[in-house]
Structure 1
């Protein structure tokens, strides 16, 4: 299926000289997945809600300072390749070109709507993300924003003092709440008002109750619920207790699953591939394959490597966070780490992943030994 069958010529566009206040208003009024930024009529990049979470960005700032690159898509590109480009570009929207000129856009939602009927064959358990970052309901809005930025994520399940799920706070919730409250203030110095907003408890901002799904539900049903509620993800809870956070499933998780390959080599997807410096895709794959050989009976189905850039720099090199997640027939195993530059961050995350793999193997060996011992005892 060509992406031309899915893409649209109806999209939101702003000039690079427009200010951040206007972009915030567009997100509040139209709720687009992203805004296409142009300069003198030529494509420059995109801007997303997540970028507006930077509390120090004033409304009068020009949006060209926040504009990020997004993969350019051709009208004749295959939908699977485009899905991979969106995942690896870390974006929910991308420009579509025809003969070198901007023709339209394609978004995460447009792709998922087009393939929705085919998602019955997948269950949430096959593609969801375990061990997610959460936040306490009495934490402040400022702490939530820092956690969203620190981990490069768009949603945080909110838990009470007993660890039970009480709601979800997302980038959309934060931007909408902040925009709505700032607009209520009078003109002049708003810095004090901004500080007060950041000190509010997450409980005042979160969406509650949280919309959830379970491991045995089809991905189609989960995505339909996302569309119905205009959510980008759902909290995954155990079948026997919907108060406990078991993980999350997002539209990006579904998009990633659509782009899995059937290659003989390990399928490795890299989010924010533009952050690679001295690393190559092949060197990352080879390094992970060395670890997967230690799985023994465990079969690795897919590997996801995600890079996230922090503001901190050392002699011009940015601090990078790297997360590696392996999906296997025995569950998920992950490792994360930070370093200056993608290569250093990847090596730290890889070492952590290897330790976790060996720990899983150790647990399995213990279980096998216990099983053998019980069988022998049963023979006495």
Structure 2
């Protein structure tokens, strides 16, 4: 039986609750990680990822890590890998901390849990058996506002972009949105505001962000698989390209999507998919 400590990593991003959000995003960009562990001094406080930034009502120039930190289940290291998968799904997070004597000694990342499937019979399954069919799509000329609404309602961070014929032309990625625009806005605004100035309510984005076309935030790499690809092949793509989902393509059109969440579900029997 595989347990949490077997897939634990001691290489992870650490931030303090008082750090500006721009510092967090900078660290995530530098390390290509999706989430971080948050401390208050030396005390563990929670976890945080890029995806929560867009859900905040605070302008990123004024945002501190503490405002978007979330609690997450704490692992001891001896939990079965199936239980870790369930906890990741329940917490809707990229990683879970492993603690010994109250101190964080490492983290278990969702991608490392998913990699275990390559050694199991599930790794030989076909993509078409688990893919979410008829995925949400964006027209290449749609506005970012539409993408944000889909994200907030459905939690989907990567959306296929199609042309007038419904053919796949790219992927809209919220990671690119945060890195290219929101972080740039935060860096340009941070320091220009007086700390005595009251922060106005902010809908998670600079005022003109929603009006921009999604094509301007197209991911630089388009990774797709055909419906008959195996789960192992999808996992290889997720690892090699450091992405959290792969588009299923048929006749140049997006017909499905496979996410890390879909793969985590393979560890659980249907009756336990309650989260």
TM over 0.5: yes
**What is the RMSD of the two structures over their aligned residues, measured on CA atoms?**
2.4
Q: Give the 3-state SS of the residue equivalent to 2:181 in structure 1.
A: helix
Query: Deviation per CA, 1:20-74, whole angstroms, max 9, x where unpaired?
Result: 1211212222221211111232211111110112474332322111111112111
Unaligned segments of structure 1, at least 5 residues:
272-380
Q: Which residue of structure 2 lines up, in the alignment, with residue 170 of structure 1?
A: 173
Q: Aligned residues, how many?
A: 261
Q: Find the partner of 2:135 among 132, 137, 140.
A: 132
Distance 2:220 2:33 in 1: 23
Answering whether residue 269 of structure 2 is matched by residue 269 of structure 1, we say: no
Aligned counterparts of 1:209 and 1:62: Cα–Cα separation in 2: 31
Name the SS of the counterpart of 1:102 in structure 2: strand
The corresponding residue for 1:30 is 31
TM-score, normalised relative to structure 1: 0.63
Q: Which has the higher helix share?
A: 1
Matches within 5 A, 1:38-57: 38-54=39-55, 56-57=58-59
**TM alignment of 1:14-163, pairs within 5 A:** 14-54=15-55, 56-118=58-120, 119-163=122-166
Cα deviation 1:161-204 (Å, max 9, x = unaligned): 22222111122121122146437857747x9x933444221111
Q: Describe the SS at the equivalent of 1:194.
A: coil
Whole-angstrom CA distance in 2 between matches of 1:111 and 1:176: 26
1:175-194 matches, cutoff 5 A: 175-179=178-182, 181-182=184-185, 185=188, 188=192, 194=206
2:8 match: secondary structure = coil
Deviation at 1:253, TM superposition (A): 0.9
| Equivalent-residue separation in structure 2 for 1:61 and 1:208 (angstroms) | 28
Residue 205 of structure 1: which of 205, 212, 217 is its match? 217
Q: 1:221 to 1:146 in 2, by over 3 A?
A: same
Q: Matched residues in 2 for 1:14 and 1:180: separation?
A: 16
RCO higher in structure (CA 8 A, sep ≥6): 2
1:204-283 counterparts in 2 under 5 A?
204-207=216-219, 210-238=222-250, 241=251, 243-257=252-266, 259-261=267-269, 267-271=271-275
Whole-angstrom distance in 2 between the partners of 1:209 and 1:28 = 16
SS at match of 1:65: helix
CA contact (8 A) 2:60 2:186 kept: no
